[in-house]
Amino acid sequence: MDLRFLTAAEGGEEEGGGNFLVPNGTFIFELLAFLVILFILGYFVVPPIQRAMRQRQEMIEKGIEDARQARERAEAAQRAYREELDEARAEGAKIREKARAEADRLAGGKREQAQQVVAGLHEQGEEELHSQRDQAARELRAQVGTLALTLTERILGSTTADDERLRETIDSFLRDLEPEPADESSAAPGSGSL
C-alpha cells in the first residue's frame, strides 16, 4: 500500500480538524469495501442459498403431494375392496338362500317318496301277515277237525257209522268259533281236503 503515515493517535485531533462527524477519505474506502462485500454475497452466496431453500421447499411440497396421492390411492383401494366384499356377501347370501330352498324342496320330495315307500312296505307286510294268518288258521282248523275225529274214533274204539255226520258237527262247531262268516269259505276247502 502506498500510504504515507502522517500521524499517530495523538495527532489525530489536530489533523482531522477536531470534528469526527465530518467524513474524510475513509468514506470512499468504506463505500468500495461494502460494494465488494455486496458483490460477493449478492453473486456467490445469496443465489445458491435461495436455490437450496427453493429446492428444499419443492422437495417438501412434492413429499406432501406424494403422500396425499398415496393416501387417496389407498382410500380408493379400500373403498373398492369394501364394495367388492359387500357385493360378495350379498351374492353369498343369495346363493345360500337359493341352496336352502333347493334343499328344502329336495328333502320334501324325498320324504314324501320315503313315506310312500314305507306306506307301501307297511301295506304289503300287513297283507302278507294277513294271508299267512289266514292260511295258518285254515290249516289249524283242518287239523283240529281231523284231530277231533281221530280222537273220537280212538275213544269210541270203532269207526262210527255216521262218519259224515260227525265231521259235519265238528265243522259247524268250529265255524261257530269263527267271528266272521267270511272265513267259512276259506275254511271249507281246508277241511274238505282232509
The footprint of another protein (CB under 8 A) covers 2-9, 12-13, 15-16, 20-31, 33-38, 40-42, 44-46, 48-53, 55-56, 59
> With contact defined as beta carbons under 8 Å apart, do 194 and 142 qualify?
yes
Give 12 or 189: the residue with its C-beta nearer to another protein: 12
Beta carbon of residue 74, minimum distance to another protein (angstroms, whole number): 28
* Selection from 164, 171, 181, 175 nearest residue 145 by Cα: 171
Residues comprising the chain, all counted:
194
Q: Minimum CB separation from another protein for residue 67, in Å?
A: 19
Nearest approach, Cβ of 48 to another protein (angstroms)?
5
Q: Which is nearer to another protein, 27 or 81 (CB)?
A: 27
Cell (9 digits) for 39 = 458483490
State which residue, 18 or 179, has the beta carbon closest to another protein.
18
> Distance between CA 181 and CA 159 in Å, rounded?
31
Rounded to a whole number of angstroms, the minimum distance from the CB of residue 80 to another protein is 38
- Give the three-class secondary structure for 24: coil
- Nearer Cβ to another protein, position 24 or 113? 24
Local structure of 90: helix, strand or coil: helix
Q: Smallest distance from the beta carbon of 16 to another protein, in angstroms? A: 7
Give me the least distance between CB of 59 and another protein, in Å please.
6
Q: Kindly tell me which of 26 and 158 has the beta carbon lying closer to another protein.
A: 26
The half-sphere exposure of 15 on its side-chain side, counting CA atoms within 13 A, is: 11
Please, what is the end-to-end C-alpha distance for the chain in angstroms?
173
CA distance 192 to 194: 5
Tally Cβ neighbours within 10 Å of residue 125: 10
**For residues 55 and 69, which CB has a smaller minimum distance to another protein in the complex?**
55
